[in-house]
Chain A
Amino acid sequence: MIIAIASGKGGTGKTTISVGLAWALGSSAVLLDCDVEEPNAHIFLAPEFQESESVNLLVPLVDESKCTGCGLCGKICRYNAIAMLNQKPLVFSEMCHACGGCALVCPVGAISEVPRAIGVVERGFAGAVEFVHGRLNIGQVFAPPLIRAVRKYAKADKITIVDSPPGTSCPVIAAIRGSDFVILATEPTPFGLHDLTLAVEMTRALKIPFGVAVNRVGIGDDRVRRYCAEQNIPIVLEIPDDRRIAEAYSRGEFLTDAAPEYGALFKALPERLANMARGC
């Protein structure tokens, strides 16, 4: 089973829930930290990495001796990564989404595709928990290919927990697509509700069963709760606004260190979510 933890608004508890859940499940869990722009699950789990692989994109390289300056490569590029200047293509490889279109349309075979490293995938174990994360290289902006490389380590025979980036854009879609259940973390504030509604729309468009985790219960107002009731969205987890939990987090400790009662709740969560996904 693959459980993705996502959110519209950042800072609502995705990592708290992801690492808490993984730690409680122990050897039956694989944690994939897909927030490759700023991975932080390793700070809590302190895994020992055994393997590291580079993730590359194939970007165009122009052989100017063959190029006739026809400009077809620049025309097909949706991402403005090739400019035609003085009848010569100028490639901005950092803008390239590696679709390969330019090499395909070049009538004289002047474009070859060469690998450009965008980041690394690191794998290891944190205690009994299998751990995988991606780290996007500094200066890179194109995260989805690296996220997909991390997502390949989802395991069918384990509970795979996907710690997603925040928001509702391409990196989030890349992280949660193919999940069996999405937990949308939010907080009971107007800002939390606003971004939750965006995340709900996104998850519905992807047709993935989902529920809401409300973090810092006690602050704000009851509009998140009312919204979930109106929309028939199950609230699968509630975490109180408790200073002890915040202090534990700031020390890099687990939710269950500050609030041990969540251990049993986390252990039972995958089966509850599986039942919800089946409509039981």
Chain B
Amino acid sequence: MKIAITTTGDNLNAPMDARFGRAQKFIVYDLDSNSFEVVDNQQNLNAIQGAGIQSAEAVAKTGARAVLTGHCGPKAFRALSAAGIKIYNISGATVSEAIEKFRSGQIAEAVSADVEGHWS
């Protein structure tokens, strides 16, 4: 199973990006093969509107089945849910710490958006 983690960097030691829609990058991590790829989200960083929706579309294209991020707004939540992608809110961790927490079942699945749109 693949999971997507929002990040500001391009390796597993990089800090997470607290934002989902305007996250700088996604690390798409394959839990089975322990390999990952970096997906740039630059085009959504500067979107006039609907960054969360487009980020959800970008994540869906990678085949990820779960998103680990700081915060997720209502439109992104609706889009991710429509794609069957689960959302996990986690803050202040590096990418690898987030993956370990997810793997050991320490983070609960979000059941709704945890912030309004444009929260930052």
* Residues of A bordering B, CB below 8 Å: 74, 78-81, 83-86, 88, 90, 92, 95
Can you name 5 extra interface pairs (CB under 8 A) apart from A80-B47, A81-B53? A79-B50, A83-B56, A85-B56, A88-B82, A92-B78
Contacts of B78 in A (CB 8 A): 90, 92
Interface pairs A-B: 7 shortest CB-CB: A80-B50, A85-B83, A83-B57, A83-B53, A85-B82, A83-B79, A90-B82
Instruction: Check: B112 CB closer than 8 A to any chain A CB.
Output: no
By beta carbon, the residue of chain A nearest B54 is: A80
Query: B5 an interface residue at 8 Å Cβ cutoff?
Result: no
B50 near A95 with CB under 8 A, answer yes
Q: Residues of B within 8 Å of A, CB-based: how many?
A: 16
| Residue contact A86 to B75, C-beta cutoff 8 Å | no
In the bound complex, do residue B57 and residue A74 qualify as a contact, i.e. CB atoms below 8 Å apart? yes
Residues 55-66 of chain B, each 1 if its beta carbon lies under 8 Å from chain A, else 0? 011001000000
Q: Is B111 an interface residue (CB 8 A)?
A: no
What's the minimum C-beta distance from A143 to chain B, rounded to whole angstroms? 14
A86 adjacent to B49 (CB under 8 Å): no
How far, in Å, is A57 (CB) from chain B's closest CB? 15
In the assembled complex, B84 has its CB within 8 A of some CB on chain A: yes
Is A83 a contact partner of B49 (Cβ separation < 8 A)?
no
The SS class assigned to the B binding surface is helix
Total residue contacts A-B, CB cutoff 8 A: 44
A residues within 8 A CB of B1?
Answer: none
Look across to chain A and name the residue whose beta carbon is closest to the beta carbon of B44: A80
Q: Chain B: residues with CB nearer than 8 A to chain A?
A: 47-51, 53-54, 56-57, 60, 75, 78-79, 82-84
Q: Which residues of A contact B49 (CB under 8 A)?
A: 79-80, 95
Contact A79–B56 (Cβ < 8 Å): no
List residues of chain A with CB within 8 A of the CB of B47: 80
Q: A80-B47, A85-B60, A86-B60 are in contact. Are A92 and B53 (CB under 8 A)?
A: yes
Residue of B nearest to A94 (CB): B75
Q: Taking A83-B56, A83-B57, A84-B57 as contacts, is the C-beta distance between A92 and B82 under 8 angstroms?
A: no
**Assembled-state Cα–Cα distance A83/B78 (Å):** 11
| B79:A81 contact, CB within 8 angstroms | no
| A92 in contact with B50 (CB, 8 Å) | yes
Residue of chain B at shortest CB distance from A86: B83
A67 to B47, CA, bound (A): 27
CB-defined contacts of B54 to chain A, threshold 8 Å: 80, 83
